[in-house]
Amino acid sequence: MKLIITDVSVLFDLYQLGILPEFFALKAEISTTSFVYNEIVVTNQINEFEVYKRAQKLKIISISESEQDEISKFITRRSLKSLPDKTMLWKSIQLKCSLLTCDKKLKSEAIEHGIEVHGSIWVIEKLIEEKILIKERGIELLELLKLGNERSPVNDINKIIKKLKM
């Protein structure tokens, strides 16, 4: 089973789309770091994610004090927004696993470190590929993603929708 470390932006996108059950049905081990998990502060979201955490569908990677020291000394070419971003990048490099993020700086930094990186759009495509969602529902979700998220790459989404309609 493939290990994937996700950031909070992807989790929030999937939460907003109402497809967390489908996401956690993917053939992958979904993890995040304790620093990222602690960014979830809205009660409804905390309650929802706790369900997946307790069911061990969302695994939380603890960061020890010595690891935190290493992470704080870890030099990146880009100024990453937060320590949680840096923990995800550091862990994905250490574990040689994929990373899910919608953050452009983090994505670029990860790619330079040889990390496979995807975002919310990829998740929807993967759900269709694994037959967890039908194409029509995937198209619907991609349209919602365009409307509900100003950072969404609209042109890329439109290309995927066009491909799915063929």
Neighbours of 55 (CB within 10 A): 9
Domains of the chain: 2-120 (3.40.50.1010), 133-165 (no CATH)
Which pLDDT value is given to residue 59? 97
pLDDT(95) > 80: yes
| Average pLDDT taken over every residue of the chain | 92
What would the pLDDT profile of 49-68 be if each residue is shown by its tens digit? 999 999 999 999 999 999 99
pLDDT(91) > 70: yes
Q: What is the pTM of this model?
A: 0.91
pLDDT band, very low/low/confident/very high, at 21 (cuts 50, 70, 90): very high
What would the pLDDT profile of 66-84 be if each residue is shown by its tens digit? 999 999 888 888 776 688 9
The Cα–Cα gap between 139 and 157 comes to: 9
The Cα–Cα gap between 24 and 138 comes to: 16
Q: ∠ CA 45-47-48 to the nearest 5 degrees?
A: 65
User: Would you put residue 114 in left (φ > 0), alpha (ψ -120 to 50) or beta?
Assistant: left
